[in-house]
Each structure stands twice: as structure tokens, then as C-alpha cells.
Amino acid sequence: MTDRELPSATRPRRRRWVPWVLGGIGALVVLLVGGILIYTQVGVMGAEPGPLAQAEQDPGLTISDDGAGIVLSPTTGATGQGLVFIPGAKVEAEGYIATLADTVVDDGITVVITRPWLNLAFFDPRPLSTFTDLAPDVTTWAVGGHSLGGVRACQLASDADALVLFASYCANDLSASELPVLSLSGSEDGLSTPQKIADAKAQLPASATFVEIPGASHASFGAYGPQPGDGTPTAEPAEVDRVIAEELSGFLPRP
């Protein structure tokens, strides 16, 4: 007697479980995707209104938004140098405009602040060219990022002329590369702590430059307000912005 001839009560029970198993897997996938979408949209940190408005009113700064990223260009005196900047986790791109304005206006460096998919850099598979193409007049490019954005920048660094880490460190090994690297960090950072920066130093080339900004916290590398788990900054935002601009100006490769 074949399975087809068996009464339904005596057919192999495993066949009855298949729809339940498949349905359960499907439900888990839906819950997982839904949970990720909710997580990426809750608690997103936007720009502080005051610093953003001040930057937007600066006649030396030209701001354009392509959707893929925000391009900050000097109104005059562009040097041909560029920086693709990747935001930290769940921080809007606008939260870095005020911080990077000095670099653009005072030093003629073009900055492209990316808009990561789902507000998280590791969900964004786009190549570096997606963002460098937004500023075709730039001839030398560094890639950098803040916090999780810096981790993503490390993954794109092979396509750039230099790498800049803002309160961040690499998860992949670049120690054998000859890539110029600048690591900017804060003494009061409660997230990318000085110890974490030191522990990840071996991932970078021996020639990497490390600059710890006294009094800077994790959120000092943007203008989006305080961040949970961070330390208490003692440096004024304007001072941190000035140090960032000075270090970038002296480091970024020239055409």
C-alpha cells in the first residue's frame, strides 16, 4: 500500500508540519525585518537648530542636497580637495554641517556628507564613487566617518587617497596598506573611548597620525546634541570644530 492509499490519520506526520514550519520561518523573517526598520527610525538624532542655521547663513558656504548626500562647497577658493564623510549611527547628515563648515569655508575643501540607507552605514552598500561623483571638480578624495560611519569608511578606503577617522576605528585590517590615515578622537568620549582607539591601533598603518582633542566627547564631532552613553565634554564646540579644520587642512592630500 502506498502513502496515497494510507488513511489521512496514518500518513507521515512530518508532511503536516511543513506548512507550520514554513509559516513560522516567514513570521520570524517579517518580525526581524520589521524590528530592524523600527530600530533604524526610532531615536534618530537631528541637527541642533542654532548651529545649523548659522552655517546655512554663512555666505562662504554653498549647500546642495542630491538625495544621496549633502554637498558642502566653498563659495570661492576651492582647492580641489574633497572629503566623503559618513555619519554615525542614526545621526542625520544635517547634524554634521555646522561641524564641517570651517573646513569648507576657511580651507576650500569640498565635503560630501552621505545619507546612509536606514540611517546606518553598514546597511549602505553603495561604492565611494556614488558620492565623489556629486562633486566632479574635486581631484583628490579622502573618505572618513564618525563612529559607525568611520567603520564603513575603512571598508571604502581602498578607493580613496586617504582615510580620516572621527571618534572611530577600523574593524578591517589596513595595517599593510600605505594609505595616509588621520585618527581624530576625544579625551572625554564615552563610546569610542581612548582605550578602544588604542586597542584598534594595530589595524592601521604604522604611519597613521593620532590626534586626541582635549575635552571633546563622542558627540563633539557633530552638532546634534548629547548622546546616551557619552562622556561630558569640557571643550567648546567652536574649539573642537577649529581643531578638526586645522588637522584636516594639514592632512588631506593635495591635487
Domain ranges of the chain: 3-40, 48-251
- With pLDDT > 90 as the criterion, what percentage of the chain qualifies? 80
CA distances from 225 to 143, 166, 167, 217 (A): 24, 16, 16, 11
Looking at 3.40.50.1820, 3.30.70.330, 1.10.10.10, 3.30.1330.10, the CATH number of the domain 48-251 comes to 3.40.50.1820
- Residues 71 and 101: beta-carbon distance below 8 Å: no
CB atoms near residue 33 (< 10 Å): 10
Q: How confident is the model at residue 16 (pLDDT cuts 50, 70, 90)?
A: low
- Residues 194 and 162: beta-carbon distance below 8 Å: no
Q: Give the pTM.
A: 0.86
pLDDT digit string (tens) for 32-56? 444 444 444 556 999 999 999 999 9
Kindly state the DSSP code that residue 85 receives in the 8-state scheme: E
pLDDT of residue 139: 97
Residue 14, H or E segment: helix 13-41
pLDDT digit string (tens) for 90-126? 999 999 999 999 999 999 999 999 999 988 988 899 9
Q: Looking at residues 70-80, what average pLDDT do you find?
A: 98
Interatomic CA distance for residues 183 and 224, integer angstroms: 21
Residue with cell 518580525: 31
Q: Check pLDDT > 60 for residue 153.
A: yes
Q: What does DSSP say about strands 69-74 and 110-114: parallel, antiparallel, or unpaired?
A: antiparallel
